[in-house]
Every structure is written in structure tokens, then in C-alpha cells.
């Protein structure tokens, strides 16, 4: 059985693929089916679940890397973390914003300066619709999730570095439960909506951060040999399958479930199980080469899908948003973004702030044999 380098979890690339395909299925069909096939539209309404899955993956992965650095180096370099994150996140996000900004300036699409700057400074999820004077901000609305992730990056690494791994478990659990209670209370009393009317409730950081924190808690617990052994003993294939079926049933019978704590817990358990057991059928499927390829493109796919799936571009550019050409163009744009923006800037970030393990120096060079064991990354230390 092969063994991957520490720091790279190929199974998570497969989960990223599933997450982005769920978003594409939702946005790619939503505007076509709206008003014509409402029943079918209900089935393809998978975008919110894809974003929730992204949050679970991100919380688990980021915290796993911080734990790895803490156990390898004896401390967490916040400057190194932020240099690598900025190199990873900012260049592709800014590239898309520059593109849509140019189209807006020449009058092809509607993107206001307020919504554009709210994306640059990651407060798009707190920009009231009343401040968007043209349209509804469809070309940038997906930056709400990037804002949530950036706010998480500002809070969690510093908290982990200051508190240490053991106390961080209590912080992650306590904050996740607190956010869940706050979400339930504000959903009923509309406190924030009273002060900032019109905000999308499920896009706010203060009601979505638990989705990342539960992933962090899973990584923190599994870094302890006792908890990891107990988890592996309990989480048999039948129980994992039961969690998946329970999650699917909740989505079928309770469509607003995507912003609850229960979904975050289920997703963290489902993802963590496959990371620790990559040799299962599901693990091998997630590590298929085409799944890992889609997973690596997932960030660029997420950034660019809004341009190709939101109707509203003026002639002669509106043909870019016609199915199935828009899907082909989306993958082409994402591949170009990945090759010419993401990869060079990731390498630059790793050069400026080398990660603590060689497996993260260059993801593209990491050999990933099917069924390889990645438990060593969690188990080490």
C-alpha cells in the first residue's frame, strides 16, 4: 500500500470535486429551469449543500495543517500561514474581479463599485441589497462564501496558536455551539435584519462559521491517538453509510437544513472517515485521477461559474451563457486560471513561506497511488 507525503490529503480533492459539481448543478440548471420545471429545480437545488461541504473540508484541512505544523515545529507561524493563504486565495479572486470589473466599466454587465469593493475587502456577505443600485449583484454574490472563509482565517489560526491543541478543542466546540444558538435566536427575532435589512441570512459569517469550526474540531480530536482509535472502531462502513443516508434524507425532507449545526457535524464525520480510510470503495473513488483534477480546479470553477451561469450579459457576449457551451467555457476558464494564476502564486507563497512538510511544496508533484494511506498525516505526532 502506498503512502503519500505528509500534508497532502488526496481524498479531500475528491470531496472538493463533489462540492463544486453540486454548485455547478444548482447554478447551471437554476436559471434554465426556473419557472418551467419547478419539480426538477427542487432536485438540482444542491448549491447550498456544496458550499457547506466546502466549509467542512476547509475547516478540517486548515486545522489539520496547523496541527501538523504545531507538532512538527513546536509552534504555528502565523506569518507563514497568512503568506501561503494570501498567495492561494487572493490572486484568482482578484483576477475574476478585474475581469468582471472591466466588463462592467464598458457596459456589458452590471457590477457596481460598491459590490466590487465589498468583494475585494471580503465583506460581500454584509453588503445590503439596497446598496447595489443595478440589478441584484449576481456576478459577485458568490463571494459571500469567500468572505466567510477569510473571516475564519483571521480568527482560528491565531486562536489555535495562542491556546494550543488541547484548549483549542474546547474553543472549537464552544464557539460552534454558541453560533448555533445565536443562529437559532436571530432566525426567530431578526435582530441583525432589523439593523441591516435584506441580508441573506445564510450567507452571514456569524451564522455560518460553525460549519468550519466543526471541521476543526474533527481534526483536533483525530490528532489524539485515543480519539482516533475510538473513531475508527465505531465508524464502520454501515454507520458511515447510515450517516450519508441520514444526511440525504434531511435534504429531501428539510430543505432549509443547510445552515444547521447537525449538517456540519454529519459532513465532518463523513469526510473525516474517508480521509482515515482511503482504501475503501468510496476512498478509492474520491482519489480517482479525474476526481482529483476537478477538485484541484474547484476554486477557480467556483469563482468563474457565476459569470457563465448568470444570464444578463449583453450581445454579443450573451451566447457565452448558453448551455452546454457555458459548461465547456467554464472548465476552460478554470483550467487557465489554475495553470497561469493559482499554481504560480501557490509556488511563490511556498517559496516565501515554506510549509513545514515537503508534501505541500508542490501538490502537482505528489504521487497519489489509488488506495494510498493518508492516515499518517493525522496520526503523526
DSSP collapsed to 3 states, 244-306: HHHHHHHHHHCHHHHHCHHHHHHHHHHHHHHHHCCCCHHHHHHCCHHHHHHHHHHHHHHHHHH
Given the C-alpha cell 469563482, which residue does it identify?
303
Instruction: Record the cell numbers describing residue 36, joined without a space.
Output: 418551467
DSSP-H helix ranges across the chain: 10-33, 38-43, 47-73, 78-105, 113-120, 143-189, 191-195, 205-208, 210-222, 225-234, 237-253, 261-276, 281-286, 289-309, 325-337, 343-352, 375-379
Given the C-alpha cell 482511503, which residue does it identify?
278
In tens, the pLDDT along 23-60 reads: 998 887 766 555 455 555 566 677 788 999 999 999 99
pLDDT at 38: 56
Of the two residues 253 and 228, the one the predictor is more confident about is 228
pLDDT above 90 covers a percentage of the chain that reads: 68
The torsion of the CA quartet 252, 142, 291, 366, rounded to 10 degrees, works out to -140
In tens, the pLDDT along 284-308 reads: 999 999 999 999 999 999 999 999 9
Is the Cβ–Cβ distance between 172 and 216 less than 8 Å? yes
Residue 370 has pLDDT above 50, yes or no: no
Range with top average pLDDT, 7-16, 130-139, 215-224, 367-376: 215-224
Instruction: Record the cell numbers describing residue 272, joined without a space.
Output: 473525516
Distance between the two ends of the chain, CA-based, in angstroms?
21
Residue 322 has pLDDT above 90, yes or no: no
Q: Which residues of 188-218 are buried (b: 16+ CB within 10 A; e: fewer)?
A: eeeebeeeeeebeebbbbebbbbbbbbbbbb
pLDDT at 30: 61
Mean pLDDT on 353-381: 46
Phi and psi (nearest 5°) for 107? 85, 20
Mean pLDDT on 65-81: 91
Residue 351 has pLDDT above 90, yes or no: yes
pLDDT at 250: 83
Residue 221 has pLDDT above 70, yes or no: yes
pLDDT range class, residue 256, cuts 50, 70, 90? low
Amino acid at each position: 500500500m502506498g503512502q503519500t507525503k505528509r500534508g497532502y490529503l488526496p481524498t479531500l480533492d475528491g470531496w472538493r470535486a463533489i462540492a463544486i459539481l453540486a454548485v455547478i448543478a444548482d447554478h447551471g440548471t437554476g436559471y434554465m429551469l426556473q419557472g418551467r420545471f419547478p419539480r426538477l429545480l427542487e432536485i438540482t437545488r444542491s448549491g447550498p449543500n456544496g458550499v457547506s461541504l466546502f466549509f467542512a473540508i476547509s475547516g478540517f484541512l486548515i486545522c489539520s495543517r496547523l496541527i501538523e505544523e504545531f507538532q512538527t515545529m513546536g509552534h504555528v507561524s502565523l506569518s507563514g500561514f497568512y503568506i501561503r493563504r494570501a498567495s492561494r486565495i487572493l490572486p484568482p479572486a482578484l483576477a475574476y474581479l478585474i475581469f468582471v470589473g472591466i466588463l462592467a466599466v464598458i457596459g456589458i454587465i452590471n457590477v457596481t463599485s460598491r459590490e466590487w469593493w465589498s468583494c475585494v475587502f471580503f465583506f460581500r456577505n454584509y453588503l445590503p441589497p439596497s446598496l447595489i443600485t443595478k440589478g441584484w449583484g449576481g456576478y459577485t454574490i458568490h463571494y459571500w462564501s469567500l468572505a466567510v472563509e477569510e473571516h475564519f482565517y483571521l480568527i482560528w489560526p491565531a486562536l489555535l496558536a495562542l491556546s494550543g491543541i488541547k484548549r483549542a478543542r474546547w474553543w472549537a466546540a464552544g464557539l460552534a455551539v454558541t453560533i448555533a444558538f445565536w443562529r437559532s435566536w436571530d432566525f426567530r427575532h431578526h435582530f441583525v435584519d432589523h439593523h441591516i435589512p435584506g441580508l441573506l441570512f445564510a450567507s452571514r459569517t456569524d451564522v455560518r462559521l460553525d460549519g468550519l469550526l466543526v471541521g476543526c474540531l474533527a481534526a483536533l480530536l483525530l490528532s489524539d491517538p485515543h480519539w482516533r482509535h475510538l473513531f475508527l472502531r465505531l465508524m464502520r462502513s454501515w454507520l458511515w453509510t447510515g450517516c450519508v443516508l441520514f444526511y440525504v434524507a434531511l435534504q429531501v425532507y428539510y430543505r432549509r437544513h443547510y445552515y444547521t449545526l447537525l449538517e456540519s457535524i454529519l459532513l465532518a464525520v463523513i469526510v473525516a472517515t474517508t480521509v482515515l480510510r482511503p482504501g475503501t470503495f468510496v476512498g478509492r473513488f474520491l482519489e480517482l485521477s479525474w476526481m482529483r483534477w476537478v477538485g484541484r480546479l474547484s476554486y477557480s470553477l467556483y469563482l468563474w461559474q457565476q459569470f457563465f451561469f448568470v444570464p444578463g450579459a449583453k450581445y454579443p457576449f450573451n451566447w457565452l451563457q448558453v448551455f452546454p457551451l457555458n459548461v465547456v467555457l467554464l472548465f476552460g476558464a478554470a483550467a487557465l486560471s489554475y495553470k497561469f494564476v493559482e499554481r504560480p502564486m501557490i509556488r511563490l507563497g511556498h517559496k516565501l513561506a515554506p510549509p513545514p512538510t515537503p508534501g505541500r511544496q508542490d501538490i502537482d508533484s505528489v504521487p497519489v497511488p489509488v488506495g494510498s494511506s493518508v492516515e499518517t498525516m493525522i496520526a503523526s505526532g
